[in-house]
Amino acid sequence: MAEEKKQIFLWHGANDYEISERISAWSRIFQKKYSALNIIFFDFEADPGREEWHAKIKNALQVNSLFGLNKLVIFKNFLAPAARLSEETKQLAAGALARLSPTFFIVFSEKEKMDARNIVYQEIQRLAKEGKAEIKKFDLPKASALSDWIAAKAKKYGACFSAEAIGVLCALIGNDLWRIDKEIHKLSNCRKGGKITETDVSALVRGKFSDDIFALTDALSAKNKKRAMQLVIEQLNAGASDMYLLTMLARQFRIFIQLKELVGAGQTNADEIASVLKIHPYVAKKSLQYVKNFSAAQLRKIFRRLLEIEYQIKTGASDFETQIGLLIAEL
C-alpha cells in the first residue's frame, strides 16, 4: 500500500475526486486486512464538534490495543485556516507525528490552500525532507489528459465513447470529475454495449458551461465586446480548455445556422426543433431566443471564422485568446 518507511501522507490540490478515490481504496484494503474499527476519519469542515476534537485526536493518535495496534487515521481539511484548531490541538498532532507508532498510517486530505504557519503542516514538510512522509499534489486533468481520463473511466463502466462524444462531454462539464463520473455512469446505462456518440451526450447531458455559452452568444449578438471577452476568460479559468470552448462555440453556431433555416421554413416549436436537430429541448428553446439577433450571413461568417481559428490553433499558427479576441473585435 505504501513504502515501508512512509507512514504519513499529505495529498492536496483541486483534484479532490482522485484524492477521495485513493482514500477509499486504502480504506477498503485496510478494512479487509484489519477491521473498519481500525479506520478513523475526521472532516474538519463538516464536523461541528470542534470542542471535542482535541480529545478525539488524542485518542486516535495513541496506541490502543482494544482493536489491535494498526490504525489508519484520515484527516480532511485539517491544515486549512478554516479548521480553526487550537494551538494545543496542533501541538498534540505535531508531536504525535514526530513519534508515530510504526503500525499507524496517517493521511491528510486538503483541497484548499494550507496554512503555512500551521505547525502540523511544518512537521509534515520536515518529515517529507527526511523521506518519512509523502506530499503529493493532485491537479485536475486538462485537454488530452482529460480525454484520456474519460476514456479510461468509461472502460471501467463497460462503456465506449467516440472521440467526438468525449470532446462534447469535456466542453459541457469541464474538468469537474465528480460530475463527469456521474454522467459517464448515466450514459453507459442508457446505451449498454454500444458506442456513445456526440448525439447521445448532447441529448442527455446538461452542461456546466451551457448558460455561459448562451451568455457569450448574447454578448456577441449585442456586440458587447468587453463582456464577451470577459466571459471567454471566465470559462477558461473555470476549467474549459480553449479547444473545448471553441468546439462548443462552433457547435452552437452550427445549431443557429440550422435553426435559422427551420425558422425560415415556418418551424418555431422548440420541442419539434429539438427532435429534428437531435439536441436537448433546453438548447433549442434558448437558441430560439438568440438566433433572431443574427442574420443568416452573419451566422455563416462567424461559423467560418471559428473553423479558421480551429485550424490556426491546431497548426500552431496562433493561439486561442488572440484569435477569439480578433473575432470579437471584428463584430
How many domains in the chain?
Answer: 2
CATH number of the domain enclosing 14: 3.40.50.300
Lowest mean pLDDT among 19-28, 83-92, 199-208, 293-302: 199-208
User: What is the pLDDT at residue 235?
Assistant: 75
pLDDT tens-place string over residues 215-239: 787 787 777 889 989 888 887 776 6
Is residue 293 assigned to a domain?
yes
Judge if 150 and 227 occupy the same domain: yes
Residue 307: exposed, middle, or buried by beta-carbon count in 10 A (0-12, 13-18, 19+)?
A: middle
Res 47: pLDDT: 67
Residue 68 pLDDT level (bands cut at 50, 70, 90): low
The reply to whether 199 and 285 lie within a common domain is yes
Q: Which domain-ending residue is among 137, 156, 172?
A: 137
Does 149 lie in the same domain as 116?
A: no
Position 3 in a domain:
no
Asked whether residue 123 falls in the same domain as residue 163, the answer is: no
Asked whether residue 4 carries a pLDDT value surpassing 70, the answer given is no
The single-letter code of the amino acid at 171 is: A
Residues 83 and 209 in one domain: no
**Domain shared by 227 and 98, yes or no:** no
Residues 216, 296, single domain; the answer is yes
CB 170 within 8 A of CB 235: no
pLDDT tens figures, 236-278: 776 666 777 787 788 888 889 999 999 999 998 988 888 888 7
If asked whether residues 72 and 205 sit together in one domain, one would say: no
Mean pLDDT within 273-295: 82
Given a cut of 90, is residue 181 above it in pLDDT? yes
Residues 6+ apart with CB under 8 A from 193: none
Cα 67 from Cα 233, distance rounded (Å)? 54
> Any idea what the CATH number is for the domain that residue 210 is in?
1.20.272.10
In a domain, 295, yes or no: yes
Report the 3 state secondary structure along 240-305. CCHHHHHHHHHHHHHHHHHHHHHHHCCCCCHHHHHHHHCCCHHHHHHHHHHHCCCCHHHHHHHHHH
In a domain, residue 315? The reply is: yes
Render pLDDT for 14-63 as a digit per residue (tens, 0 to 9): 999 999 999 999 999 999 998 888 899 998 877 655 667 888 888 888 87
Domain of 38, in residue numbers: 8-137
Residues 154 and 300 in one domain: yes
Q: Which of 81, 108, 137 represents a domain boundary (last residue)? A: 137
**Residue 8: pLDDT band with limits 50, 70, 90:** very high
Answer yes or no: is 213 within a domain: yes
The percent of residues in the chain predicted with pLDDT above 90, rounded, is 36
CA distance 254 to 240: 20
Kindly indicate the confidence band of residue 2, based on its pLDDT and cuts at 50, 70 and 90.
Answer: very low
Q: Is the pLDDT score of 320 beyond 90?
A: no
CB burial of residue 167 (10 Å; 0-12, 13-18, 19+): buried
Does residue 73 form part of some domain? yes
C-beta separation of 244 from 170 below 8 A: yes
Shared-domain flag, residues 207 and 275:
yes
Of the candidates 109, 110, 102, which has an alpha carbon nearest to the alpha carbon of residue 132? 102
Q: Which three cell numbers stand for residue 221?
A: 449578438
Asked, for residue 2, whether it belongs to a domain, the answer is no
Cα–Cα dist 244/250, whole Å: 10
Mean pLDDT of all residues in 63-89: 81
- Match 470542534 to its residue by C-alpha cell: 50
- Same domain for 320 and 198: yes
Tell me: do 233 and 174 sit in the same domain.
yes
Instruction: Give the end of a domain, one of 114, 137, 160.
Output: 137
What's the chain's average pLDDT? Answer: 85
